[in-house]
Amino acid sequence: MAWIFDSNAPIFKQIVDTISLKIIKGDYKTGQKLDSVRDLAVEAGVNPNTMQRALVSVEEMGLLETKRGDGRYITENTEIISKLKEDYIRKNTADFIKKMSEFGFSTPEIISFIEKTNINL
Amino acid sequence: MDKILECKSLTKNYKGNMALSNVNLSIGKGKIVGLLGPNGSGKTTFLKIGAGLLTPTFGDIAIGGNFIGVETKKIVSYLPDHNFLTPSMTVEGMVTYFEDFYTDFSREKAESMLNALDIDKKAKIKTLSKGTQEKVELILVMSRKAELYLLDEPISGVDPATRDYILRTILSSFDGNATIIISTHLINDIEQILSDVIFINHGDIVLCDTADNIRSNTGKSIDAYFREVFRC
């Protein structure tokens, strides 16, 4: 099974997150046609009806657009994508700072750690 | 009508042994339901009643709005927990046999799945390994365009890689309007594809809910929650 899920948490939300992230990260390009519900369900290893519900939810976020009779496309509205990307980065940074502050570090200390840390990406 | 299977006070006694006791269930269309329980909990008995192989001692069961009979057998595709292939026949022969027997059987679908799984159609059943025989059985059962699939331990005898194959086979031949009930105790391997879960123990339904509800309510996987509920 290609998609890895945490089986301790609801799968539906994880599918929504996986698809949104693929769009935000650019794995799915703007304007690109999305695979059919069935193909995505088989790829992810989940019930097609669960996949269908997840796609509707991603669509409601504005990341997908349905063209009648021709399936779903990734939105070409890059504003929405940038906004969600910003939300995502802000949330993850906040989580990181919160975690570090539990060790008793102040924000300036955390920033200096970040500056001193070399990660080869 | 959005329910495919409904039963009321369904009870099965084997000479004083209660295999199912007063089961009330209602299963909607489009679900992939895991029927989970320890050995001897009543899983196979329940599926056999649905397939029309056993008659209940007491209570009612309806599939697609009909009591068990010719009409329900037309729309129910059942995979037994034991080998049902004829050893002397070829794979192709079994396909033809199914094609003759069931009007909703798609030879094209069966052949494409046999090809995808690299199974020799000319081979005699008795020359195939146990795992391959299980694959052939599942292909035959899933090549029907049924409304309800009852799969009794479809992944028990095969290696983990083949299990993934089989789960993909189940998913790719599932059309979204049909319903699948899978009995198993290999929960970890299949819990991802399940939309709904039934826990059964000593013939009683202990729990019946969506898989995601169980995960949100308990913070646990279905597998972990099963181990907790059925701790020995």
Q: Rounded mean pLDDT of A83-91?
A: 93
* B15-24, B104-113, B129-138, B169-178: segment of lowest average pLDDT: B169-178
Q: Rounded mean pLDDT of B25-37?
A: 95
Residue-wise pLDDT tens digits, B52-65:
999 999 999 999 99
* A40-49, B66-75, B129-138, B160-169: segment of lowest average pLDDT: B160-169
Burial of B147 (0-12, 13-18, 19+ CB in 10 A): buried
Backbone phi and psi for residue A108, each to the nearest 5 degrees, phi listed first: -60, -40
Between residues B105 and B177, the one the model is more confident about: B105
Residues from chain B contacting residue A54 (CB–CB below 8 Å) = none
pLDDT given at position B131: 85
Contact A9, B214 (CB under 8 A): no
pLDDT given at position B173: 80
Residue B166 has pLDDT above 90, yes or no: no
The partner residue sitting opposite B171, judged by closest CB among A11, A42, A52, is: A42
Residue A1 has pLDDT above 80, yes or no: no
The partner residue sitting opposite A12, judged by closest CB among B191, B212, B222, is: B212
**Amino acid in position B88:** S
d(CA B50, CA B61): 8
Residues from chain B contacting residue A47 (CB–CB below 8 Å) = 30-32, 171, 174, 193-195
pLDDT given at position B39: 87
| Secondary structure in 3-state letters for B109-161 | HHHHHHHHCCCCCCCEHHHCCHHHHHHHHHHHHHCECCCEEEEECCCCCCCHH
For chains A and B, CB pairs below 8 A equal 64
| Secondary structure in 3-state letters for B178-202 | CEEEEEECCHHHHHHHCCEEEEEEC
Residues from chain B contacting residue A12 (CB–CB below 8 Å) = 212
Please state, as a whole number, how many other Cβ atoms lie within 10 Å of the Cβ of residue B186: 16
**Amino acid in position B109:** K
Handedness of CA A61, A63, A65, A71 (dihedral sign): negative
pLDDT given at position A121: 62
pLDDT given at position A67: 87
Residue-wise pLDDT tens digits, B197-220:
999 999 999 999 999 999 999 999
Residue-wise pLDDT tens digits, A104-119:
988 899 888 888 887 7
Report the candidate in B51, B2, B33 with the shortest Cα–Cα distance to residue B180: B33
Residue-wise pLDDT tens digits, B181-195:
999 888 988 999 999
Q: Answer whether A47 sits within 8 Å of B195, measured CB to CB.
A: yes
The tokens for B55 are 């008659």
The partner residue sitting opposite A42, judged by closest CB among B168, B211, B220, is: B168
d(CA A70, CA A59): 15
Q: Rounded mean pLDDT of A32-39?
A: 92
Residue A79 has pLDDT above 90, yes or no: yes
If pLDDT is split at 50, 70 and 90, which confidence band does A120 have? low
If pLDDT is split at 50, 70 and 90, which confidence band does B1 have? low
